[in-house]
Amino acid sequence: KGELMKGKKGLVMGVANSNSIAWGIASQLAAQGAEMAFSYQGENLERRVRPLAESIGVKHMIPADVTDDASMDAAFAEIEKVFGTLDFVVHSIAFADKDELKGSFVENTTRQGFLTAMNVSAFSFVDVARRASKLMPNGGAMVSMTYLGAERVIPNYNTMGVAKAALEAATRYIARDLGPAGIRVNAISAGAMRTLSLAGISGGRSMISQGRAFSALKQDTTMEGVAGCALWLLSDLGRSTTGEVVHVDAGFHMIGLPEGFGEG
């Protein structure tokens, strides 16, 4: 327990269940005194998300489908009604059709699949940032979730890697636009973790085992580690950091050749 987020009000988008990264982050923010609203994708998720929200004192549950302007209008009107202003936003949302997440990128990527991944996983952050910034008259902080597949080729990550590259670039453009208003915008590049989203990627489990085997720390990426980074970026501890993509992956991203390579 601490008070790093005391007096701060925020929106957490993307809790689907207790394995969601958004849930890991929200739990740690709550333990530091944050007041939060959760947005969730649709009615059929409410039953699972509500008990989680209530267990950490989150009173406001707001449906929001990021592909639907009317849904986003209603969600932000509701947020303004309940909170007035916002201090932080967590964007932990991505989607690509399963058929896009396997095999040859160049052969398997369709126009519709590409656009859907871009819409849900990259454009949605631009839209959320614009809407949320209007509720941040005193400055604020936003984080989104990304993955190494934006920077390097990860087998099967395909369309999602391209969408994450767009998300990371968008983070920098948004950070510059909103910087003068005292709003900081960053992304966390997390190592692979066992969530619903990972299950949609062909060979997702080996992303975890290989991530562990080749990481500097020889460890899995933990929810606590990711949430700790979010806490830094969203609290005043992160006051001088914006436009950044921070890797929280047990030191996987910076290894060039795995051990054993080229020996003997």
* Residues noted as catalytic: 147, 157
Q: How far apart are CA 87 and CA 113, in angstroms?
A: 34
Q: Across the chain, how many H-helices and E-strands are there?
A: 10, 7
Helix, strand, coil shares of the chain as percentages rounded to 5?
50, 15, 40
164 among annotated binding-site residues: yes
- Asked if 94 interacts with ligand NAD (CB under 6 A), we say yes
Tell me the CB-side half-sphere exposure of residue 146, using CA atoms within 13 A.
30
User: What's the angle, vertex CA 67, arms to CA 66 and CA 69, rounded to 5?
Assistant: 85
Q: Which of 10, 14, 161, 238 binds ligand NAD (CB under 6 A)?
A: 14
Spell out, one character per residue from 171 to 210, where the chain touches ligand NAD: x when CB under 6 A holds, - when not: -------------------x-xx-xxxx------------
Q: Which of 65, 97, 127, 177 binds ligand NAD (CB under 6 A)?
A: 65
Is there a contact between 26 and 36 (Cβ–Cβ < 8 Å)? yes
Q: Which of 29, 34, 61, 93 binds ligand NAD (CB under 6 A)?
A: 93
List the one residue out of 74, 71, 52 whose CA is nearest residue 120.
71
- Asked if 41 interacts with ligand NAD (CB under 6 A), we say yes
Q: How far apart are CA 35 and CA 157, in angstroms?
A: 35
Q: Which of 61, 117, 145, 174 binds ligand NAD (CB under 6 A)?
A: 145
Nearer to ligand NAD, 141 or 163 (CB): 163
Q: Which of 11, 21, 129, 132 binds ligand NAD (CB under 6 A)?
A: 21
250 among annotated binding-site residues: no
Burial grade of 109 (CB within 10 A; 0-12, 13-18, 19 or more): middle
Nearer to ligand NAD, 193 or 227 (CB): 193
The two tokens of residue 23 are 């849930």
Residues contributing to the site for ligand NAD (CB under 6 A): 14-16, 20-22, 41, 45, 64-67, 92-95, 120, 145-147, 190, 192-193, 195-198
Q: State the binding site for NAD(+).
A: 14, 20-21, 41, 65-66, 93, 164
Q: State the binding site for substrate.
A: 96
